[in-house]
Amino acid sequence: MSVAVVGGAGYIGAHVVDVLRARGEHVLVVDDLSTGDADRVPGLPLTRIDVTDPTQVAPLATAFRQHEVDAVVHLAARKRVDESVAHPTRYLRDNVAGLANVLDAATAADARTVVLSSTAAVYGTPDAAGAPVDESTPPRPENPYGTSKLACEWLLEAHARAHGVAATSLRYFNVAGAARPVLADRGTSNLVPIVLDRLRADRAVEVFGGGLTTRDGTPVRDYVHVVDVAEAHVVALDALRSGRDVPAVVNLGTGEGSTVLEVVRAVARVLGVEPRVDVVARRAGDPVSVVADVTLAGTALGWRARLRLEDIAADAVRCDAGLTPELTDSSR
Ligand SMILES: NC(=O)c1ccc[n+]([C@@H]2O[C@H](COP(=O)([O-])OP(=O)(O)OC[C@H]3O[C@@H](n4cnc5c(N)ncnc54)[C@H](O)[C@@H]3O)[C@@H](O)[C@H]2O)c1
Ligand SMILES: O=c1ccn([C@@H]2O[C@H](COP(=O)(O)OP(=O)(O)O[C@H]3O[C@H](CO)[C@@H](O)[C@H](O)[C@H]3O)[C@@H](O)[C@H]2O)c(=O)[nH]1
């Protein structure tokens, strides 16, 4: 048996691969390396396929069969909120088609367990300002990225019912931090790497939106450590493979919200520099505040995040400096 990690050369996927490998699982990485990096998964079988291409379903099914894949973790997707606002068709088409093709290949290869990367972006801004959202909150995405992931969740639920597949969608909140330098988020879009980049270069961080109805006027998110998120996948796979009932959607967050200014200050503290910010216009498609209610992850999976914003900031800074964090290692 082995696990196919689709998008496994990406930031979160490579952390999932890392945790799976650490406990002796066989892993097949599937990735087109569009935003991923093969250096994150050295020595592992890597099938380089664009999963949005329907002609690649048969080769993907062949790879699944060759590696005796019984479970698939699907992370490959476009994930930029601002880009999705500018290019909605690209997001809806690619994110949904990518999942559909992977599910067809999994069916052809008789892989009957699926875990999907979903997102807090399916919620939009909840009505009760600042209150944590649980999975019963009606989804109301504010951008096409969130809409595409909601469509993916619904596709997976329908597929699971139709084919008797064990499946769940994990709604990650804002994932940050790293376990090792090579695995770090090198993207240019997410807040924590941007803050690191700006403060190290002695430049101000642009804060998208001031004067909002939050405690310091800047947007609130639930920042969750990537190592905690990766471990949740293993817990979910175990539960699904052993036939336990797993909810169709589960939030992965810490239950605590942080403003953009608090993130900037946390990173500045670790770097030992003064936080510098420029408050600019709100970004299109950005919810004001989203924080996870994490009760279900605890009751259904026995999972909870152990690390907090301070750990995320410390680990991001250490990995950026080429050092392996001790905190995440010792907390395992
Ligand atoms: N980073 C976050 O805070 C966050 C939060 C919620 C959900 N997510 C979701 O988690 C998943 C992983 O995000 P990430 O931050 O690791 O991003 P990432 O860009 O680092 O990883 C995505 C990986 O998928 C690969 N990929 C993309 N399109 C592909 C395609 N068509 N065919 C094959 N491979 C393809 C990329 O090369 C990359 O390796 C995404 O689905 C994203 O929507 C991320
Ligand atoms: O230079 C920057 C970058 C971001 N932000 C703000 O920081 C917060 C976090 O932004 P970002 O890191 O881009 O994350 P989100 O837009 O919240 O989206 C992320 O988090 C979602 C889950 O909540 C994932 O699904 C997405 O893939 C991922 O990009 C938001 O309020 C942004 O407005 C700034 O103020 N300045």
Q: Model confidence over 40-71: pLDDT tens digits?
A: 999 999 999 999 999 999 999 999 999 999 99
Ligand nearest to the CA of 279: 2
- Average pLDDT, rounded, for the chain: 95
- For range 7-28, the mean pLDDT: 98
**Active site includes 11?**
no
pLDDT at 263: 98
Active-site residue (options: 11, 123, 145, 172): 145
pLDDT at 326: 72
pLDDT at 331: 43
pLDDT at 128: 76
* Ligand 1 centroid distance, CA of 79 (Å): 6
**Atom 35, ligand 2: which residue's CA is nearest?**
207
* Ligand 1 centroid distance, CA of 216 (Å): 31
- Please state the atom number of ligand 1 nearest to the C-alpha of residue 8: 39
Mutual angle of helices 88-108 and 57-66, in 10-degree steps: 40
pLDDT at 130: 78
* Ligand 2 centroid distance, CA of 315 (Å): 19
pLDDT at 329: 41
- Please state the atom number of ligand 2 nearest to the C-alpha of residue 192: 12
Q: Which contiguous run of DSSP H or E holds residue 310?
A: helix 309-320
**What tens digit of pLDDT does each residue of 143-191 get?**
999 999 999 999 999 999 999 999 999 999 999 999 999 999 987 789 9
* Ligand 1 centroid distance, CA of 77 (Å): 5
Q: Residue written as tokens 């990485």?
A: 29
What ipTM was reported for this prediction?
A: 0.98
pLDDT at 88: 98
The bridge status of strand 174-176 relative to strand 220-221 is: unpaired
Distance, CA of 125 to CA of 212 (rounded, Å): 12
Spell out the residues 6+ positions from residue 31 whose beta carbon is closer than 8 angstroms to its own: 6, 7, 8, 9, 10, 13, 38, 46, 47, 48, 49, 76
C-alpha to C-alpha distances, 316 to 96, 120, 331, nearest whole angstrom? 31, 22, 16
What phi, psi does 206 have (nearest 5°)?
Answer: -80, 125
Ligand nearest to the CA of 98: 1
How is the beta sheet containing 113-119 ordered, strand by strand? Answer: 46-47, 26-30, 2-6, 69-74, 113-119, 166-172, 249-252
pLDDT at 327: 53
**Atom 42, ligand 1: which residue's CA is nearest?**
79
- Please tell me whether residue 168 adopts helix, strand or coil conformation: strand
Lowest-confidence region among 61-65, 129-133, 192-196, 239-243:
129-133
**Atom 36, ligand 2: which residue's CA is nearest?**
207
Q: Is 219 in the pocket of ligand 2 (CB under 6 A)?
A: yes
**What tens digit of pLDDT does each residue of 224-252 get?**
999 999 999 999 999 999 999 999 999 99
